[in-house]
Amino acid sequence: MSFTEYFSPDRFDSPATEDDLTHAEEKLGVTFPDDLRAFWLTTATYNGNVHMANGTDGPYLRVLHPSSVTKTGDIVVFGRGEDWDFGVVPGHPTRWVDVERDSGEELSELGATFVGFLESLRNEHAEQDDLFA
């Protein structure tokens, strides 16, 4: 899968390895969704903006290396934010959520796939821009 519709490839770093992913899954006791694994096998980290559908910069997203993700309850948190962050609840169905880091409270549902999550981020960003326009 190509992620260039959503991310600037010049912000990608070296891909994670299968060993990186397996070790992280074993440490956390989870199985990462296939689409998140595919992303990490494209770039081990991402720190930048998600592209909007028109190619402009959208919301900021940080995805940590698989060895750096943490688990809060059932949520695998893959970034480090100030007050809240993004995560995935692996399983059937998979749920992408934003989460309050201190409490582990799920703040909202953001899709069932990685691309669905990215589309939710785009939509939230567009709605916020509309409010300030």
* CATH number of the domain that residue 49 is part of: 3.40.1580.10
Residue 89 lies in a domain: yes
- The tally of domains found in the chain comes to 1
Would 3 be classed as within a structural domain? no
Answer whether 67's CB lies under 8 Å from 20's CB: yes
* Domain limits for position 62: 9-132
- Any domain includes 102: yes
Look at residue 42 and tell me if it is in a domain. Answer: yes
Query: In this predicted structure, what is the pLDDT of residue 22?
Result: 97
Q: Is residue 44 part of a domain?
A: yes
Domain membership of residue 1 (yes or no) is no
pTM over 0.75: yes
Q: Which residues contact 102 (CB under 8 A, 6 or more apart)?
A: 83
Give tens-digit pLDDT for 49-89: 999 999 899 988 888 899 999 888 888 888 765 556 888 99
